[in-house]
């Protein structure tokens, strides 16, 4: 049987609901053979994930999802098979973590002006020892009775242009790709259709991404429609990028997104796992 790949998911190190150990147990239960844990701007969960993966017999790739800017647009870059201890990557991520902390304080100030007090200590507690994300603000707003669910919180307060939104000077795309490459990883542009970019712009983004050393693009995600997959596959082919696949799993409450539950990669694409080492190659038919 072919191995089941899931190369994008989150733990409590960022905005996932499950601890790395819980996530690995769920991945085992769902039949995942190769998992990459890709928390937002942090490698904090990888050590615990590796210990669980070893016990459960899952092949774990060290991963990350880094927030980056290109022409002032925020993009998410997945780094796969990285060395989390590499000093170039670690220094870059330390800066991103600082930016997350500063942004959270500014967001709390903006919400306070809208009459919603004490957001900072609340999100700090919700994120526990992990990175604070907008998802934590969404949960806080739901708990405070200001939104009916996460989506509503984003629509009312947290999306670009809404009262709680704070633009952030994430590292530039070329820097982020350079960190990932320095750490021995491969850089994959996450969910290319989720940025609401025109065809012209997504082409520009992918050309620039490849130009600075990016090698892959996500073609199948947990929420991709058949049309999304067709379009993303065309983008991969057009730009000569390897194809990746990942659920972007965050929590068990979302019935639509599950670890390892992904449509197959369309034929004719170069799967990103061709670039991984012998531990992965030995699982391939």
Residues that bind ligand AMP (CB under 6 A): 15, 40, 67, 133-135, 150-151, 154, 250
Measured from the CB atom, the residue of 150 and 244 that comes closer to ligand AMP is 150
Spell 109-140 as b/e; 16+ CB within 10 A means b: ebbeeeebeebbebbeebbeebbbbbbbbbbb
Residues touching Mn ion: how many (CB under 5 A)? 5
Question: Within 174-203, which residues bind Mn ion (CB under 5 A)?
Answer: 190
Q: How far apart are CA 230 and CA 163, in angstroms?
A: 36
Structure-derived torsion over alpha carbons of residues 106, 111, 116, 120, reported in degrees to the nearest 10: -20
Sheet holding 73-80, edge to edge: 5-6, 34-37, 59-70, 73-80, 186-189, 216-221, 242-246
Cβ at position 223, least distance to ligand AMP in Å: 11
Measured from the CB atom, the residue of 88 and 99 that comes closer to ligand AMP is 99
Q: How far apart are CA 142 and CA 134, in angstroms?
A: 12
DSSP annotation of 118: -
Measured from the CB atom, the residue of 223 and 283 that comes closer to Mn ion is 223
Cβ at position 155, least distance to ligand AMP in Å: 7
Q: Which stretch binds Mn ion (CB under 5 A): 19-27, 63-71, 225-233, 262-270?
A: 63-71
Q: Which stretch binds Mn ion (CB under 5 A): 51-59, 174-182, 204-212, 245-253?
A: 245-253
Cβ at position 230, least distance to ligand AMP in Å: 24
Binding-site ranges for Mn ion (CB under 5 A): 15, 65, 76, 190, 248
């Amino acid at each position: 049987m072919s191995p089941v790949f899931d190369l994008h998911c989150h733990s409590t190190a960022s905005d996932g609901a499950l601890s790395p150990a819980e996530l690995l147990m769920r991945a085992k239960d769902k039949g995942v053979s190769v998992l990459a844990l890709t928390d937002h701007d942090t490698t904090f969960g990888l050590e615990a994930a590796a210990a669980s993966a070893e016990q459960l017999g899952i092949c774990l790739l060290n991963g990350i999802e880094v927030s980056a800017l290109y022409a002032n647009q925020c993009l998410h870059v997945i780094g796969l098979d990285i060395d989390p201890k590499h000093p170039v990557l670690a220094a870059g991520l330390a800066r991103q973590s600082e930016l997350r902390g500063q942004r959270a304080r500014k967001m709390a100030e903006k919400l306070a002006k809208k009459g919603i007090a004490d957001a900072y200590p609340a999100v700090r507690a919700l994120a526990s020892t992990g990175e604070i994300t907008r998802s934590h603000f969404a949960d806080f707003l739901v708990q405070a009775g200001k939104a009916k669910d996460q989506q509503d919180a984003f629509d009312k307060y947290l999306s670009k242009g809404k009262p709680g939104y704070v633009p952030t000077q994430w590292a530039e795309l070329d820097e982020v790709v350079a960190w990932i490459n320095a750490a021995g990883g491969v850089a994959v542009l996450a969910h290319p259709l989720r940025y609401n970019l025109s065809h012209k712009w997504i082409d520009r983004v992918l050309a620039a991404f490849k130009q600075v050393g990016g090698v892959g693009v996500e073609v199948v995600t947990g929420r991709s429609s058949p049309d999304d997959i067709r379009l993303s596959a065309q983008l991969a082919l057009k730009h000569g990028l390897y194809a990746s696949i990942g659920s972007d799993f965050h929590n068990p409450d979302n019935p639509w997104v599950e670890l390892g539950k992904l449509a197959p990669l369309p034929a004719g694409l170069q799967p990103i796992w061709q670039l991984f080492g012998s531990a992965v190659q030995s699982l391939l038919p």
